[in-house]
Structure 1
Amino acid sequence: MINNICVFCGSSFGKHDVYQQEVLQLGKTLATKKINLIYGGGNVGLMGVLSRTVLENGGEVTGIIPKKIHESVDHIELTETVIVDTMHERKASMYSLADAFIALPGGIGTLEELAEVMTWQQIGYHAKPIGVFNINGFYQPFEKLLEHMVQEGFLKPEFAKNLIVEDTPEQLLERLEKFAPKLLSKWST
C-alpha cells in the first residue's frame, strides 16, 4: 500500500496549460486517496501547484529542501518542512520516506531524480514502484531513449519494463499500487 509518494517535478509551469491542469488533478487525487506528498519543498512552477492543491484538498505534504534553496525562495505552510544541508541529503531523505515515485514534466533536475531512482532500483537499493505521469506525451522521447538503450545492449528489458507510464493520475496510482518489480542482477548475463 502506498502511504507516501515522492513526486519529482518542474519548478516551472511549462508552455502548455495542460501541465498545470493535470497536476491539479493529481494533487486532488493524492489528497482524496490519503496519500501523503513528499517533494522538494519549492513553491513555484508545478511543484507549487501540486503542493498547494494537495493541501487545499485536505492532504498532507512534506517538503524537503536544502538550506541554500530555502533561503532563496518564498514558502507556503506545509504539513512538514525538512531543511537539509545538501542536495544529496534532500534526495536521500525523499527516497527513504517514499513508498513510490512519480515524475511529472520538468527539466534536468526532474530527469536526474527520475534516472537516479531508476538506477537505485536496478542496482537493488530499493524495489519501490516508479512511474511517470505522461502529460501531453512529455515522456515519449524518454521512453524512446530507454528502448534505444535496450536495443543497444546497455539496459536490460526487464528494467525498462519496471517504469510505469500513464496518462491519468488514477491509472498511474492504480498501477503503482499493483507493482511487482522484475528484479534480477544488473551484472548477470
Structure 2
Amino acid sequence: MYCDVSSVRQVAVYCASSFGRHPLYADVAAEFGRILAERNIGLVYGGSGTGTMQSLAEAVLANGGEVTGVFPSEFPRELLQSGLTRTIEADSLAERKELMLELADAVVALPGGFGTLDELFDAFSRFKLGFISKPCGLLNAGGYYDLLLKFLDQGVDSGLIAQQDREMLIASDDPAALLDELERVRSESAFRIG
C-alpha cells in the first residue's frame, strides 16, 4: 500500500516515441500514467506527442495529473505533446537528461529503445554511486526487459557487476507495485544520503 504523503512527488519516465508492434506497450504506458495521476505524482518526460510517450502523457492529463515535458531545442515542434502542464526547452540531449533528473524523485523506464536505455543507465549509475537519491525501476511490460535482466544477472555471475548493485535496479511488471517499491527505496536512500 502506498503512502498519501509521498517522498516521490515527480517521476522521470523514459519510454518510446513509437508504439511498437504490441498494443500492450501503449496500454501499460496509459495505465502507468493513470496511476501516477491518482497518486498525485507528476510526470517528467521527453515532451513527445508520439508513441508510448503520447499514451503516457495523455493518460496523466486525462486523469487530472501534471506533466512536464523536457525537450531539446532541435526537437521538431510539431511532434510535441499539446496541453502539457509545463514545457522546458533544453539546449541539448545531455542538458535534457540533467533537467529531467533534477526535477524527478525517481526514474522509471517503460519499454523503449536506445534512448530509453541510455537515460535509464545514466540515472542508475548516478544512483548506484550515491550521487543522487533517485531510485530507478524497469516496468517490465510483457517481459520486455527479461533478456536485459538476464544479461545483468550474467554480469553478476561473471563478477563484473556486484550483486548489491544489481539488486538496486528495481523491476516489476506491475505498475503500482513498482511505484510502491520506488517509494520505499526513495525514503531509505534520501535518509541515507541526505
Tell me the residue number matched to 2:13. 7
Matched-pair contact (CA < 8 Å) for 1:131–1:172: yes
Count the aligned residue pairs.
183
Match of 2:179 among 173, 176, 183: 173
- What SS is found at the alignment partner of 1:178? helix
Tell me the residue number matched to 2:110. 104
**Equivalence map 1:1-189=2 (5 Å):** 1-71=7-77, 73-179=79-185
Closer, same or farther: CA 139–129 of 1 in aligned 2, 3 Å: same
Matched-pair contact (CA < 8 Å) for 1:10–1:106: yes
Matched-pair contact (CA < 8 Å) for 2:47–2:80: no
Question: How far apart are 1:70 and its partner, in Å?
Answer: 4.1
Aligned residue type for 1:81 = T
The Cα offsets for residues 128-186 of structure 1, whole Å up to 9 and x where unpaired, read as 21111110000111101111111112211111101111111111111111116998xxx
Question: How far apart are 1:39 and its partner, in Å?
Answer: 0.5
Q: Output the TM-score relative to the length of structure 1.
A: 0.92
Tell me the residue number matched to 1:186. none
Closer, same or farther: CA 82–181 of 1 in aligned 2, 3 Å: same
Aligned residue type for 1:90 = R
Gaps of 5+ in 2: 1-6, 190-194
- Larger mean Cα displacement after TM superposition, 111-120 or 72-81: 72-81
Matched-pair contact (CA < 8 Å) for 2:33–2:57: yes
- Larger mean Cα displacement after TM superposition, 172-181 or 126-135: 172-181
Q: Output the TM-score relative to the length of structure 2.
A: 0.90
Identical amino acids, percent of aligned pairs: 38
